[in-house]
Chains A and B, each alone.
Chain A
Amino acid sequence: MFKRGDHAVVHRFATAFRAGSTGAIRSLLTHDVVAVSDSGGRVAAAIAPVRGADQVARCVTELLRPGTVLSVEAVNGQPGVVLRTPDGAAVAVLSLKVAGPKVSTVWIVLNPDKLRHWRPRE
């Protein structure tokens, strides 16, 4: 189902993300990467798309809270990253567009109304 290469990039991204390493995340982004966050105005998030590797890497690491649990899951038929609170509730779902060895777009869904279907995981 997944292209092997894409999957590897997503896993590398998740590993850097889990470590909270802005530098490692940045190295996996294309220079003109774009991050779009949908918060529906319900939680704090950038209201306009964020552009550029530095800004996107920072915007992604800002999603981490103490105890955030991060996993690679099937998001809309492709590997994506899901962030949960320590008690298992999904707080962010990230879908990534991969271009070659790097990530060129990050879509971040934060609107709690849109995450109700994400079951808690152990």
Chain B
Amino acid sequence: MSDDPEDLDDAVAVFNEVRPRLMGIAYRMLGSHTEAEDLVQEVWLRWQAADRGAVKSPVAYLSTAVTRLAINASQSARARRETYIGPWLPEPVDTSADPYLGAEHGEALSFAVLLVLERLSPTERAAYVLREAFDYPYDELAAMLQSTEAAVRQLVSRARKRIRAERRTEVSGTQQQKLLTAFIAAARAGDLGALEQLLAKDAISYSDGGGAARASKFPVVGRLRVAKYHRAFHQHFWVGVEVEFGMANGRAVAMLSRDGEVFAVCTVTASAEGIDEVLWQMNPSKLTAIA
């Protein structure tokens, strides 16, 4: 710490440059412009008192500070919101008056997304905001959140999934059942065109093989790739397979059995755009409850 006025001018200049970003992070974390301003003020006090000469990257230092404060603040904010009268909505921000919050960093700013973020854990929310809205690299995120790179990737991907699912309104149960039936028929026939027609543009296929059954270890992403993936294994896979439709976890599922034994369960989640997710459960230890 130094009382040198020139050094303090420097500190002010650096801080002012990073300030809009700090506001952007804090606002997205808390959904409150007022609370975000308080946090940024708190970061300024810390920055003033810090041993700034030892700080290699002020941006990283300051955004880490605001993120950690925001994580703490959102924990107490959650408690306060339990006594809030009526529904809680974010404090709207005028993005024409505050271009940095809006224009080029518009991600994770809409009410729809902010409200989903509210339901994630504060750390998940921080990971998502820093990654999606501000493009922080994963190694830096790991340092900021005192976690490992792999764990942070996991946080971001979970948050993304929740947001994607939330953005779309799921179709009704009957509609889901119809899509599932059509999908199974198309997969069985290996009909690429029909598969493509049923899938949403950014459809994902997940398979849980539990390492025990043959299944793709990685999610398959994209309409055409998901369609091709299902066509690719259609021939051997479906030989001697009987399909029975039923309900599991409140949704329509297709149970595939061979020689009277269920070896796979398939279900889909869908919106107006078509099937968003194809879920294959092929892990024998997870199928015992159904068969």
Q: Do A and B actually bind?
A: yes
Identify which of residues 68-110 in chain B touch chain A, using a CB-to-CB cut-off of 8 Å.
Answer: 84-97, 101-103, 106, 109-110
| Interchain CB contact (< 8 A) of B87 among A38, A104, A116 | A38
Say whether B86 contacts A107, CB under 8 Å. no
Query: What's the Cα separation between A115 and B93 when bound, in Å?
Result: 9
Assuming the A-B contacts A76-B109, A76-B110, A78-B110, are A93 and B92 also in contact, with contact meaning beta carbons closer than 8 angstroms in the complex?
yes
Closest Cβ neighbor of B86 among chain A residues: A47
Assuming the A-B contacts A74-B94, A118-B94, A119-B94, are A38 and B109 also in contact, with contact meaning beta carbons closer than 8 angstroms in the complex?
no
Say whether A74 contacts B85, CB under 8 Å. no
B contact face: mostly helix, strand, loop, or mixed: loop
Residue of A97, A99, A100, A114 most packed against chain B (CB within 10 A): A114
Say whether B85 contacts A76, CB under 8 Å. no
Identify which of residues 5-31 in chain A touch chain B, using a CB-to-CB cut-off of 8 Å.
Answer: none
Q: Does B169 contact A (CB under 8 A)?
A: yes
Closest Cβ neighbor of A119 among chain B residues: B97
A116 partner residues in chain B, CB cutoff 8 A: 34
B90 partner residues in chain A, CB cutoff 8 A: 76, 109
Identify which of residues 64-108 in chain A touch chain B, using a CB-to-CB cut-off of 8 Å.
Answer: 73-78, 80, 93, 95, 97, 99-100, 104-105, 107-108
Query: What's the Cα separation between A104 and B88 when bound, in Å?
Result: 19
Say whether B111 contacts A107, CB under 8 Å. yes
Closest Cβ neighbor of A118 among chain B residues: B94
Closest Cβ neighbor of B88 among chain A residues: A38
Q: Does B152 contact A (CB under 8 A)?
A: no
A115 partner residues in chain B, CB cutoff 8 A: 92
Query: What's the Cα separation between A116 and B32 when bound, in Å?
Result: 11
Say whether B87 contacts A49, CB under 8 Å. yes
Query: What's the Cα separation between A80 and B91 when bound, in Å?
Result: 13
Query: What's the Cα separation between A49 and B111 when bound, in Å?
Result: 15
Query: What's the Cα separation between A39 and B94 when bound, in Å?
Result: 19
Q: Does B114 contact A (CB under 8 A)?
A: yes
Q: How many residues of B are in contact with the other chain, CB < 8 A? A: 28
Assuming the A-B contacts A39-B85, A107-B89, A116-B34, are A95 and B94 also in contact, with contact meaning beta carbons closer than 8 angstroms in the complex?
no
B93 partner residues in chain A, CB cutoff 8 A: 75-76, 117
Q: Does B33 contact A (CB under 8 A)?
A: yes
B34 partner residues in chain A, CB cutoff 8 A: 113, 116-117
Q: How many residues of A are in contact with the other chain, CB < 8 A? A: 36
Assuming the A-B contacts A104-B169, A116-B34, A117-B33, are A76 and B87 also in contact, with contact meaning beta carbons closer than 8 angstroms in the complex?
no
Query: What's the Cα separation between A76 and B87 when bound, in Å?
Result: 19
Say whether A97 contacts B95, CB under 8 Å. no
Assuming the A-B contacts A1-B103, A74-B102, are A95 and B88 also in contact, with contact meaning beta carbons closer than 8 angstroms in the complex?
no
A97 partner residues in chain B, CB cutoff 8 A: 111-112
Closest Cβ neighbor of A46 among chain B residues: B86
| Interchain CB contact (< 8 A) of A75 among B32, B92, B112 | B92
Q: Does A45 contact B (CB under 8 A)?
A: yes
Closest Cβ neighbor of A30 among chain B residues: B169
A77 partner residues in chain B, CB cutoff 8 A: 95, 101-103, 106, 109-110
Residue of A75, A109, A113, A115 most packed against chain B (CB within 10 A): A75
A-B contacts besides A114-B89, A117-B94, 13 pairs, CB < 8 Å? A1-B102, A41-B84, A41-B85, A73-B96, A77-B110, A78-B110, A95-B110, A97-B111, A113-B34, A114-B32, A116-B34, A117-B34, A117-B93
- Which residues of chain A have a CB within 8 Å of any CB of chain B? 1, 36-41, 45-49, 73-78, 80, 93, 95, 97, 99-100, 104-105, 107-109, 113-119
What would be 10 A-B contacts, judged by CB atoms less than 8 Å apart?
A73-B96, A74-B94, A74-B96, A77-B101, A95-B110, A95-B111, A99-B169, A99-B272, A109-B91, A118-B92
- Counting from the closest, the 4 A-B pairs by CB-CB distance are A41-B85, A38-B89, A77-B106, A114-B91
